[in-house]
Structure 1
Amino acid sequence: MGYFGKLAYSDGRWSAGGPTAVPFLLVDVHDSDIATVDYRAADASGGRFYLGYEPRIYFEEPDAGDPVDTAAEAAGFARWAREAAGTDVAPDDVQRLMAAPDGSPPADDVVEETVERLLALVGLPAPDWPTDDDAPAG
């Protein structure tokens, strides 16, 4: 079983759960195979995309959602990176990391690696991923 968890980057730090301020970046990881990435800027603009696999592909439910417009989301995320983190990011570099709308397998074995590559593009620190040692007893 892979990692399940939600981490938010806001106010210059990572926290578990939801963001504490806007702008923010929210990363929700499902079984180390899917990362839902939500981003919001100070003006409330933002978007959502996936790393690893899109849920409709992963769960084999093609009608569960439309494919992500990866070009539009990559451009939106690049704009967010410039405004929220002060980093110029090429939308093509972001798009290469996104889940393929056609379901092609991702390059990384676990989605946490892809998350870290996305964060490195933006110049944000990687979160401290919880380990099994961090799990509650029992």
Structure 2
Amino acid sequence: MGYFGTLVYSEGRWRTGRPTAVPFLMVDVHDSDIATVDYRAADASGGRFFLGYEPRVYFDEPDASAPVDVDAETEGFARWVRDAVGTEIAPADVRGLLASPGGVPPTDEVVEQTVERLLALAGLPIPPWPTDEDAPPG
């Protein structure tokens, strides 16, 4: 079984749970295979994309998620990074990390690796991924 959890970056640090301020970046990991990435700017604009697999592909259920407009999301995320973080990134660099709308399997073993590559590109710190030692006993 892989990692399940939600991490949020806002106010200059990572935390678990839900966003407490905007702008924010929220990464929700499902079984180390899917990462749902939500980003919001101070003006409430933002977007959503997936790393690893899109849910509709992973679960083989077309209604599990709407297909991602990859061009719009890469442009939007690059704009969010510029405004929220101050880092300039090329949308084409982001595009190579997004889940394939056609379902081509990702190259990374676990989606957390892709998340780390995206964060490095954006100039954000890597979150403190929980370990087995962080799990409750039993």
| Pairwise CA RMSD | 0.7
Cα distance in 1 for residues equivalent to 2:129 and 2:34: 15
In the other structure, the counterpart of 2:104 is: 104
Cα distance in 2 for residues equivalent to 1:65 and 1:106: 18
1:56 Cα deviation from its structure 2 partner: 0.4
In the other structure, the counterpart of 1:10 is: 10
Percent identical across equivalent pairs? 74
What is the TM-score of this pair, normalised by structure 1? 0.98
Q: Which runs of 5+ in 1 are unaligned?
A: none
Q: Which SS does the other structure have where 2:50 is aligned?
A: strand
Q: Which runs of 5+ in 2 are unaligned?
A: none
Q: Which SS does the other structure have where 1:97 is aligned?
A: coil
CA offset digits 1:58-89 (Å, max 9, x no partner): 00102333210111100000000000000001
1:46 Cα deviation from its structure 2 partner: 0.1
Q: Which SS does the other structure have where 1:115 is aligned?
A: helix
Aligned length: 138
1:18 Cα deviation from its structure 2 partner: 1.0
Contact 2:54/2:65 (CA < 8 Å) preserved in 1?
A: no
> In the alignment, does 2:124 pair up with 1:135?
no
What is the TM-score of this pair, normalised by structure 2? 0.98
Q: Which SS does the other structure have where 2:43 is aligned?
A: coil
Cα distance in 1 for residues equivalent to 2:43 and 2:98: 24
In the other structure, the counterpart of 1:62 is: 62
